[in-house]
């Protein structure tokens, strides 16, 4: 399983699905996620890195979306998304989602295809959302509070 940290206020739509804008990094340098075996300390380290940027933009941690790597790798029998193990010193269970390069005839067509892919990625990820007070039995609930501080 993969875990993606979701911020508020604009992280999810009213139907509970992710805002496609949150996933744009999958089309650029890679979208950071933590694998299911990540220790609580890895979530703490991730929030330590995200907190300054989120606070500057008036955001705080809302919760976690959990999904299976296999759910995003293929669609209709075609490679859709790559999941790379990109462990780091303090985050050995870190991974990045990356979408393959868009092949289009024009910049406007490429832009449209990227947007459609992000919407498809939102659907593949689904909406298995956990509030921080519920994720891992609430052990990391303080991260939502500290993100807003």
> Which pLDDT belongs to residue 82?
93
Render pLDDT for 9-51 as a digit per residue (tens, 0 to 9).
Answer: 888 888 888 999 889 889 888 999 999 999 999 999 988 888 8
Convert the pLDDT of each residue in 49-60 to its tens digit: 888 888 788 888
Q: For the chain, which residues make up each domain, given as ranges? A: 2-139
The secondary structure element, H or E, covering residue 149 is: none
Structure tokens at 32: 């950071």
Express each pLDDT in 92-136 by its tens digit: 999 999 998 888 888 888 889 889 999 999 999 998 999 989 999
Contacts of 38 (CB under 8 A, 6+ apart): 3, 91, 92, 93, 94
How far is residue 1 from each of residues 4, 80, 83, 91, 129, measured CA to CA in Å? Answer: 10, 17, 11, 16, 13
Please choose, from the candidates 38, 29, 16, the residue with its C-alpha nearest in 3D space to the C-alpha of residue 125. 16
Strands (E), the chain: 2-8, 31-35, 60-67, 74-75, 78-79, 82-85, 94-98, 129-131
Confidence band for 83, pLDDT divided at 50, 70 and 90: very high
Q: What average pLDDT does this structure show over 69-95?
A: 92
Q: What's the whole-number mean pLDDT along residues 75-90? A: 91
Res 146: pLDDT:
53
């Amino acid at each position: 399983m993969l875990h993606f940290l979701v911020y508020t206020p604009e992280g999810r739509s009213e139907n509970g699905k992710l805002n496609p804008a949150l996933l744009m990094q999958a089309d650029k340098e890679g979208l950071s996620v933590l694998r299911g075996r990540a220790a609580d300390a890895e979530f703490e380290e991730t929030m330590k890195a995200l907190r300054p940027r989120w606070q500057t933009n008036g955001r705080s941690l809302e919760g976690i979306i959990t999904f299976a790597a296999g759910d995003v790798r293929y669609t209709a029998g075609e490679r859709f998304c790559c999941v790379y193990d990109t462990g780091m010193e303090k985050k050995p269970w870190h991974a990045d989602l990356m979408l393959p390069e868009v092949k289009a005839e024009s910049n406007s067509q490429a832009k449209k295809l990227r947007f459609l892919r992000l919407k498809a990625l939102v659907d593949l990820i689904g909406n298995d959302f956990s509030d921080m007070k519920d994720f891992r039995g609430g052990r990391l609930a303080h991260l939502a509070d500290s993100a807003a501080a």
